[in-house]
């Protein structure tokens, strides 16, 4: 290792974990490498230049960053900070996204407008990376989407544009569970410019379920075709359930997490612009609790508890609720005293009136009218780490919202309120507080007649640590860690062969190639 935190004039080592696709395993491999190195006594930090996600978190100093970098920081055993995710894109309705720079919102823009910002953003990205490298021995950078999105390469700040600017050796991870992993790896490399290819030093196969001996001939052929080794084959592992950032990692409507046969049934409404969905992870980790993602009225009718989660587009998702008939199901539950919980955007939907000239520009809109609350959207975003008490238990959470709720009735509940069996709060992360989670679920079970009872003292923090340890074990047992250390210390080997055809000539000089989907640059 060439770095050393606190050593003047020394720069920490770094590498880029790129992927053949979204959800190939970049986030978990980055976290696994962080946990592995931290166990070796290395001061390591994660980094993602540009993250497109609706799953975010608030740092101790009030900055908003992607939740995956928070998970990776936990794997590294350090406190998350804004430098770890300098650019966060939060997609909303109308193919527009909020641009969060160094933890603070700076713009609301569409794809073309965002492209004009990238020159400024690259400067911020490189400054953040340099800052981390000055303070840590190693920085493990996660790419975004695929580095072979040739229509986006000219202004790329998250994949090979970052690698070229910062001199990062790069490994490419592919998801074998999707099929076609050899074609994806070879094709990704073959669509990169020669100078980009010179930084790509190897591949990692992720989510392998079969016999390694059957895979070996393909690994040898890939090396022969590309001149680059497969540095590891990571086996499929159930039960990781780590913080996801990509919508591809979200459960589909009807899918159940937790204990499918559990006596306490939770229906989480699968909103189109669902955000901060990690609020549900701690519920699913509680023994005897089944969390089903729901988009039909009958799913809500059958549940003991319905959770309306956060959303990036409150008014748009409220309209979706009404079109699906879910508003009537929620009203029936409230009238019969069956529990409903709204979190952040979900809480706003439960209000009597919503006035939004900021997020949707819709003006005054009728809410569901299940809580005595009015909501008015403010231009400034509220970011915080509140602390309180509920059910006699200490609660710590975090809040990220433009909507300001004014309560004029009911009973206080975590800076929100309760009316009958309907609760609302702006606080995310409340269920990660073990005592509060069990007390709240015990109340739900009593109200619905469910036989569920807490089984022991489950620590969600300990559950998450075990999952991160499992990632570190995967890296230690299935990745060539010697080759990994060599890449960190020495960079990519010299003389790596060029694999034709390379990027199209137009990619570096023009941007007339159109994307097949309305993204704001590389997806996470």
Query: Per-domain residue ranges for the chain?
Result: 13-229+480-504, 247-463
The secondary structure element, H or E, covering residue 275 is: strand 274-275
Stretch 313-339: mean pLDDT, rounded?
96
pLDDT at 101 over 80: yes
Closest by CA position to 429, among listed 275, 253, 199, 217: 275
Average pLDDT over residues 363-379: 96
Q: Which residues, 6 or more positions from 195, have their beta carbon under 8 angstroms from its beta carbon? A: 164
Distance CA 474, CA 29 (A): 9
The dihedrals phi and psi of 145, each to the nearest 5 degrees, come to 60, -125
**277's tokens:** 């969905």
Inform me whether the pLDDT recorded for 108 exceeds 60: yes
Q: What is the DSSP letter of 135?
A: H
Catalytic residue selected from 401, 402, 428, 478 = 428
Q: CA-CA distance, 345 to 199, in Å (whole number)?
A: 43
Q: Which has the closest alpha carbon to 75: 466, 396, 433?
A: 466
Per-residue pLDDT tens for 1-39?
333 333 333 467 999 999 999 989 999 999 999 999 999
Tell me: pLDDT of 115 over 90: no
Q: Per-residue pLDDT for 523 more than 60? A: no
Listed in sequence order, the residues at least 6 apart from 135 whose beta carbon sits closer than 8 Å to its beta carbon are 5, 6, 12, 43, 45
With cut-offs at 50, 70 and 90, classify the pLDDT of residue 112. Answer: low
What are the structure tokens assigned to 474, written together?
Answer: 């995967």
Contact 18, 141 (CB under 8 A): no
Q: How high is the pLDDT of residue 356?
A: 94
For residue 407, the surrounding DSSP H or E stretch is strand 399-407
Q: Exposure pattern of 487-502 as b/e (b: 16+ CB <10 Å)?
A: bbeebbbeebebbeeb
Catalytic residue of the set 344, 402, 417, 478: 344
Number of H helices and number of E strands within the chain?
A: 15, 28
- pLDDT of 161 > 70? The answer is yes
Q: What is the pLDDT of residues 171-230, one digit of tens each?
A: 999 999 999 999 999 999 999 999 999 999 999 999 999 888 999 999 999 999 999 999
The model's confidence at residue 507, banded by pLDDT at 50, 70 and 90, is very low
Distance of CA 44 to the CA centre of its chain: 20
> Residue 366: is its pLDDT beyond 50?
yes
- Rounded to whole angstroms, the Cα distance separating 478 from 235 reads 8
CATH number of 13-229+480-504: 3.40.50.300
Let me know if the fold of 13-229+480-504 is the same as that of 247-463.
yes
- At residue 245 the predicted structure's pLDDT band, cuts being 50, 70 and 90, is low
Q: Diameter of the chain by CA atoms?
A: 72
Fold of the 247-463 domain: Rossmann fold (3.40.50)
The whole-angstrom separation of Cα 195 and Cα 153 is 13
pLDDT at 248: 53
344 is catalytic: yes
pLDDT at site 247:
53
Task: Report the 3 state secondary structure along 478-509.
Answer: HECHHHHHHHHHHCCCCCCCCCCCCCCHHHHC
Enclosing H/E stretch for 232: strand 230-235
Please tell me the predicted confidence (pLDDT) of residue 124: 93
Lowest mean pLDDT among 1-15, 84-98, 256-270: 1-15
At residue 336 the predicted structure's pLDDT band, cuts being 50, 70 and 90, is very high
Backbone angles phi, psi at 277, to 5 degrees: -70, -5
pLDDT in the model for residue 506: 41
What pTM did the predictor assign? 0.89
Determine the Cα–Cα distance for residues 442 and 427; give it in Å rounded to an integer.
20
- Rounded Cα distance, 139 and 141, in Å: 6
Percentage of the chain exceeding pLDDT 90: 79
Mean pLDDT of all residues in the chain? 90
Band (pLDDT 50/70/90 cuts) for residue 54 is confident
**Using N-to-C axis directions, what is the helix angle for 314-324 and 326-335, rounded to 10°?**
80
Helix or strand (DSSP H, E) at 444: helix 434-448
Reply yes or no on whether the pLDDT at 166 is more than 60: yes
Q: How confident is the model at residue 239 (pLDDT cuts 50, 70, 90)?
A: low
- Average of per-residue pLDDT across 454-480: 94
Q: Which two three-digit tokens encode residue 363?
A: 């003006």
pLDDT one-digit tens code per residue, 384-439: 999 999 999 999 999 999 999 999 999 999 999 999 999 999 999 999 999 999 99
Question: What is residue 43's predicted lDDT score, i.e. its pLDDT?
Answer: 97
**CA-closest candidate to residue 289, choices 256, 320, 313:** 256
| pLDDT of 12 | 72
Q: Give backbone dihedrals phi and psi of 519, rounded to 5 degrees, phi first.
A: -100, 170
Residue 302: CB atoms within 10 A of its CB come to: 13
Q: pLDDT digits over 190-201, tens only?
A: 999 999 999 999
Strand arrangement, sheet containing 200-208: 44-47, 138-142, 13-19, 170-175, 200-208, 230-235
């Amino acid at each position: 290792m060439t770095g050393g935190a606190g050593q003047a004039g020394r720069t920490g080592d770094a590498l880029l974990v790129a992927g053949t696709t979204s959800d190939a395993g970049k986030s978990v491999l980055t976290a696994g490498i962080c946990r592995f190195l931290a166990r070796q006594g290395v001061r390591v930090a994660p980094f993602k230049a540009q993250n497109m996600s609706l799953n975010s978190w608030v740092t101790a100093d009030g900055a908003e960053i992607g939740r995956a970098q928070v998970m990776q920081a936990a794997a590294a055993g350090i406190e998350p900070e804004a430098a770890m995710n300098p650019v966060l894109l939060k997609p909303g309705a109308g193919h527009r996204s909020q641009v969060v720079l160094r933890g603070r919102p700076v713009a609301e823009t569409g794809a073309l407008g965002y492209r004009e910002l990238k020159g400024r953003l690259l400067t911020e990205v490189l400054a953040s990376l340099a800052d981390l490298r000055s303070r840590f021995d190693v920085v493990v950078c996660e790419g975004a989407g695929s580095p072979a999105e040739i229509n986006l390469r000219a202004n790329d700040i998250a994949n090979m544009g970052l690698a070229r600017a910062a001199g990062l050796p790069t490994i490419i991870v592919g998801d074998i569970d999707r099929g076609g992993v050899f074609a994806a790896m070879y094709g990704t490399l073959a669509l990169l410019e020669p100078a980009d290819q010179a930084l790509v030093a190897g591949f990692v196969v992720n989510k392998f379920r079969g016999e390694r001996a059957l895979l070996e001939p393909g690994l040898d052929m890939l090396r022969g075709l590309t001149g680059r080794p497969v540095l590891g084959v990571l086996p499929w592992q159930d039960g990781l359930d780590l913080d996801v950032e990509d919508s591809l990692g979200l459960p589909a409507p009807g899918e159940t997490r937790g204990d499918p046969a559990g006596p306490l049934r939770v229906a989480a409404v699968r909103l189109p612009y669902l955000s901060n969905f990690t609020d549900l992870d701690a519920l699913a980790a509680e023994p005897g609790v089944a969390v089903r993602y729901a988009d039909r009225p009958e799913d809500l009718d059958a549940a003991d508890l319905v959770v309306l989660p956060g959303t990036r587009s409150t008014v748009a998702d409220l309209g979706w609720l009404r079109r699906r008939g879910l508003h009537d199901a929620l009203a029936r539950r409230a009238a019969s005293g069956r529990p409903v919980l709204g979190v952040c955007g979900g809480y706003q939907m439960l209000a009597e009136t919503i006035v939004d000239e900021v997020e949707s520009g819709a003006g005054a809109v009728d809410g569901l009218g299940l809580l005595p609350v009015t909501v008015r959207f403010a231009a400034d975003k509220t970011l915080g780490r509140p602390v309180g008490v509920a059910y006699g238990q200490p609660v710590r959470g975090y809040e990220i919202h433009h909507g300001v709720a004014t309560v004029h009735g009911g009973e206080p509940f975590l800076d929100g309120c309760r009316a009958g069996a309907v609760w609302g709060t702006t606080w995310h992360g409340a269920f990660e507080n073990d005592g509060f989670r069990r007390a709240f679920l015990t109340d739900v079970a009593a109200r619905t007649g469910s036989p569920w009872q807490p089984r022991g003292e489950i620590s969600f923090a300990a559950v998450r640590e075990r999952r991160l340890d499992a990632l570190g074990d995967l890296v230690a047992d299935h990745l060539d860690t010697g080759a990994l250390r060599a890449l960190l210390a020495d960079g990519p080997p010299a003389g790596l062969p060029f694999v034709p055809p390379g990027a199209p000539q137009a990619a570096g000089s023009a941007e007339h190639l159109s994307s097949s989907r309305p993204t704001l640059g590389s997806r996470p």
